[in-house]
Amino acid sequence: MMNQEPSSRPSTDGRGGGAAAAPSLPDLNAETYPFPVVQRLLDQAATFNLLSRPDPQAPAPVLTTAGGAVAGFRLREVLHRFEIAMDTSGPAGLRARNTVGEPAAVFEQRWLLIPPGYAALPDREPPPTALDPERPQRFVLLDGICRFGRGADGFRGFGGGSTFPVTCGGRPQLLAGAVGTLLEGFGRFQGLAGTYTYCGVIDPQRGFSGSLFLRVMDPRGALRTDEAVPPVRPVVEADPGVTYLLLRGQKRDARQKTGYLYGPDGQVNGLDVEQQLRFFDTGFSSGPAGLRTAARIGPVVGSMTARIAFNLFNPGAPGTDLSPIPFQSVNDYTVSGAGGGQPAGSFVADGGEGRTFTLEFPEAPGQRGLRFGGFGPILGGTGAFQGMEGLMSDNSVVGIAPHALATHYVLRVHDPAGRFRAPGPGA
């Protein structure tokens, strides 16, 4: 049931940080396996950074109610290779060159609006629900089939999301974020578990345009390679007035601890997580060896603290593909200044919609893990990020005891003046 109501907001009462947990609570930082081993298992993943555009040859995507109101979209997305090349030069603190390359995959699915409290399932048709562009609404992602290249490699998916009505530059826009999970893979995706996250904009006449970040756990190396993949060459223009940023989060080492958060009743209601922020380069290609992905973890550029509303002891759902565990988070990002001096600034993202799936590690029996996918609005910032607006998506995997993690954040920033855009081809 992909669209459970989200859990309560994370509390700052009893903020854990590095404080010791109460004796009756399990130690999140204990080592079932050594921390470096679990970090390595989390990083055995294939990552695909993609930009979704409506297929111009597809029929009009709008689906309507009996009364003619917009009820959803039958999407045929063309997924392009997408490079987000980050740097810290310039007064903005963070900048990126966005390069949109050749089409690499096609994703066909339906996005249907759903009423409040509706529990979505892949084989369940929701009641027709009219789009209201002036208020947030949830939607379900149904009948998803993603095919890479000539169609031999791909997956079936299912998910849920929400709209976010905003005003950018004096004009109304309908932003949208979503989380999906792989139900079944084929070709090189066969037998693999994964999560995909969206952040972008909905045009009621054209459908969705924006970021799709796909992470697939790949312990056998069916998709990963250590060899370099061909660079992304600009084929189409990036989204006008928008800059995408990409950051990775991970702990410095096993000494960076995770603590519990407590509610007014003294009960655990969340986690307090601190991590480094790093640059992350990822790419893929479909060469003679077939579909392959490569990634490189870049330098430390800041830090992030997340307050996550997620009850590990009473999650309220089993965490399966069809019944994930809801969570919410508030993410505080701080970006280092030039030369490691005073911070360039900070910004906050409200991860108000998230879904959690259990994760197993074939190489480490008994090691607990979770896949997280979430999204939410950027709430502004300080310093170089003063006035920052946009949408964030979060695609993460974590271990439990030890609490190692590998998180990826895509930030879709409203940027008409090019404040966060680095110069270069495709920028």
- Residue 11 and residue 19: Cα distance in Å, rounded? 16
**What's at 106, amino acid-wise?**
V
Quote the pLDDT of residue 82.
98
**pTM of structure:** 0.94
Within 187-223, strands assigned E span 194-203, 207-217
> 3-state SS string over 284-295?
EEEECCEEEEEE
Cβ proximity of 104 and 237 under 8 Å: no
Quote the pLDDT of residue 169.
77
Residue 253 burial class via C-beta count within 10 angstroms: exposed 0-12, middle 13-18, buried 19 and up = exposed
Cβ proximity of 401 and 368 under 8 Å: yes
Q: Look up residue 163 and give its DSSP letter.
A: E
How many CB atoms are closer than 10 A to CB 264?
9
Cβ proximity of 94 and 336 under 8 Å: no
- Residue 73 and residue 203: Cα distance in Å, rounded? 10
Quote the pLDDT of residue 211.
98
Backbone Cα Rg of the chain? 20
Residues of the chain with pLDDT under 50: 7, 12-23
Q: How many CA atoms lie within 13 A of 122 on its CB side?
A: 17
Which H or E element spans position 167?
strand 153-168
Phi-psi region of 389 (alpha: psi -120 to 50; beta: other; left: phi over 0): beta
